[in-house]
Structure 1
């Protein structure tokens, strides 16, 4: 009940504002992931037709040092890797992208996200599992598609790559932070900073981009919870005024979860007061807060003080 009341109080307070409306940035979370399997070229193309501002691309490295668009370090939550390569799992039972070459990953079929332990789909009512033709794209393929659609459609849709778990990659002997900045520079984004953000949960990676690599690309510090074990960073410290001020020294943006609207209702305005743009994650029309209509949920997000949002259904904004 407290959760419902908290959300409605926020909605009522937001409705009292008289500030002029500014552009609300729509970020296609893992492509059009509410409609087709996440992080596929079909999903990226569909998101582009929705007219979104940015399309997200989570990035991990393969065994042969190729960047692929994949949310997890493991392949077994969104592909059929266990069927194609049944003997390639690690001692923990998982199939890691870093243990496979790009050519091997190209043999896999991308599917809707599922629990590898139970086989149950995370979103049962989304795209059917018997569909064929989806594969895991390389980052080069993803960028080429977005830039080609921009040219043919006369648009400037941006990309929003996330560097996934640099600490893990470092333990495996790979420098994913360097790989990402080299890739985006190869594709010309250093000269087009309005068409890209780079995000990461690990502040050390973002600080390297700003200081070691001297990038002018806008950076976004993602906010996890310490209980998530996302990295060695102290996310509780980031939520303080001092923490937000420290983030603003190396990043332009801040990416908390939408859940912080309930647990830390002053976080968004305090982040903006520190000079950060706020892009929370993740709106899902099929996972609304209890008691909310779709229209009320959309309104709450738009009027929360956020500058934009990551959404599986970005066309709704």
Structure 2
């Protein structure tokens, strides 16, 4: 995930003074925070992507093997209108598309059919033991998440490239049973595009949503009209900013949550948990979970 240039960062600097509390207050805050570390949700970024090729079924299973309930993924659309799970808008970094289709540069997902993409190896780049791993369709991905009894933070990636992807994704999720009363509590849909998140909320106001980025504090009420979460890079926040976010009620009348990304070491995880974030998105979910458990 990368912050969009349009996301205002000025709010990230608000409340820095909260990090320099008097000793007695700081001690009380530390004690209170230690009790909440254990409840900070750990989300496996693109699956457990430090241990298996990102956004593949192997990465979903790696997270499950580590005992991680939440996985995050990225959804895009092929030339023939099928939804697949991949982060980059091009196929070149995480598949062998340059070898299989050498004359098709720049290898945009939107220039390839699902049948062509299914011919690609999406695992060998990560390690020989993953040779033959494929790019999953959203249906295949949801089936695996369901089989593992996991929960999903689903990102609509570059929705401006795929008009109508919000409605199409919701339609597929409904067909898979993920929008019924029991399953929708295991789902959050997020995007860097405020328009996309707003569209999801308009189409299915019962579904939990998140905006990826660091809006200015003054703009938070606007985002709260269609979002339940503000999900920034951990490098752009402090305790004051997190408190400002949580002081605003989101689209479902509860305080906005903060899921921050991408934290891959224990000390950083403990630090951002101490800021009061609700979730941490990470390539190494076992490392983050264990660090938070040790700190609690």
Per the shorter chain, which TM-score range? 0.7 to 0.9
Residues 95 and 121, structure 2, Cα contact 8 Å, conserved in 1: yes
Distance in 2 of aligned mates of 1:207 and 1:161:
15
CA contact (8 A) 2:259 2:281 kept: yes
Does residue 160 of structure 1 match 2:153? yes
2:76 aligned partner: 60
Q: Does residue 251 in structure 1 map to residue 227 in structure 2?
A: yes
> Of 177, 196, 201, which residue of structure 2 is paired with 1:210?
201
Gaps (5+ residues) in structure 2?
1-15, 249-254, 290-296
Partners in 1 of 2:210 and 2:39 — Cα distance? 18
> Deviation at 1:14?
8.6
Deviation per CA, 1:139-178: give whole Å up to 9, x if none: 111111111222xxxxxx21111111111223xxxx2111
Q: Measure, in 1, the Cα distance between the counterparts of 2:137 and 2:28.
A: 43
TM-score between both structures, scaled by the size of structure 1:
0.75
Whole-angstrom distance in 1 between the partners of 2:161 and 2:148: 34
What is the TM-score normalised by the length of structure 2? Answer: 0.80
Q: Deviations over 1:285-315 (max 9, x none)?
A: 4xxxxxxxxx422321322211011100111
Cα distance in 1 between the residues matched to 2:235 and 2:201: 29
Partners in 2 of 1:10 and 1:30 — Cα distance? Answer: 35
Aligned to 1:105: 117
Deviation of residue 217 (structure 1)?
Answer: 1.0
Q: What residue in structure 1 maps to residue 191 of structure 2?
A: 200
RMSD: 2.3
Q: Secondary structure of 2:190's match?
A: strand
Structure having the higher helix fraction is 2
Query: Higher relative CO (CA 8 A, sep ≥ 6), structure 1 or 2?
Result: 2
- How far apart are residue 10 of structure 1 and its match? 7.9
Pairing 1:138–2:137 present: yes
Q: Are 1:271 and 2:245 an aligned pair?
A: yes
Alpha-carbon distance between aligned partners in 2 of 1:15 and 1:75, rounded to the nearest angstrom:
50
Match of 2:270 among 287, 290, 299: 299
Find the aligned partners of 2:90 and 2:20 in 1 and give their Cα distance. 37
Task: Write out aligned runs for 1:12-23 (5 A).
Answer: 16-19=29-32, 20-21=35-36, 23=39
- What is the deviation of 1:279? 0.2
**CA 1:15–1:81: 2 relative to 1, 3 Å:** farther
Structure 2 Cα separation of the partners of residues 130 and 141 of structure 1: 21
Check whether the contact 1:54–1:196 (CA below 8 A) recurs between aligned residues. Answer: no
- 2:220 is paired with a residue of what secondary structure? helix
What SS does the corresponding residue of 1:259 show, helix, strand or coil? helix
1:277 Cα deviation after fit: 0.6
> Whole-Å Cα distance in 1 between the matches of residues 28 and 283 of structure 2?
25
Instruction: Evaluate the alpha carbon distance shift between residue 15 and residue 169 of structure 1 in structure 2; reply closer, same or farther with a 3 A threshold.
Output: farther
Q: CA, structure 1 residues 168+245, in 2 after alignment: closer, same or farther (shift >3 Å)?
A: same
